[in-house]
Amino acid sequence: MFSFAVAVAEKTTNQPTKMAARVLSLRESSQKVLKMMQKETVILRRVQPVYTATGGLLPKPEQIRFPVLKVLCVALPFLYTGATLSKNAAAFLEENDIFVPEDDDD
């Protein structure tokens, strides 16, 4: 479609018009952008095999036992530690008059 407009403009005036030149430059710039995107876009897909080379099924993958319990055992101590540090830091700032929250009487 774009090349048709350029060809029509060139046949009628022997020189590309401003509009045809803009269409041509737009087309070239969009092609450059597409080429750059194709070069930099790499999609890697890792698929675990299901069958052996001879066609037999592989054994089931190992499942994690007690996943929720393990997550809680890791997350809760760090949440508690962060909350304790925050509470102590807020008390220190208020005690030394570095930051004192104001009470609004609305």
Average pLDDT, the chain: 78
Q: Quote the percentage of the chain above a pLDDT of 90.
A: 31
For position 41, what pLDDT does the model report? 54
- For residues 64-84, average pLDDT: 95
For position 55, what pLDDT does the model report? 87
The answer to whether residue 75 scores a pLDDT higher than 90 is yes
Distance CA 12, CA 16 (A): 9
Distance CA 75, CA 61 (A): 26
The answer to whether residue 40 scores a pLDDT higher than 80 is no
Crossing angle of the two packed helices 2-13 and 18-40, in degrees rounded to 10 = 150
Q: Quote the percentage of the chain above a pLDDT of 70.
A: 67
The answer to whether residue 24 scores a pLDDT higher than 80 is no
Domain ranges of the chain: 1-40, 63-106
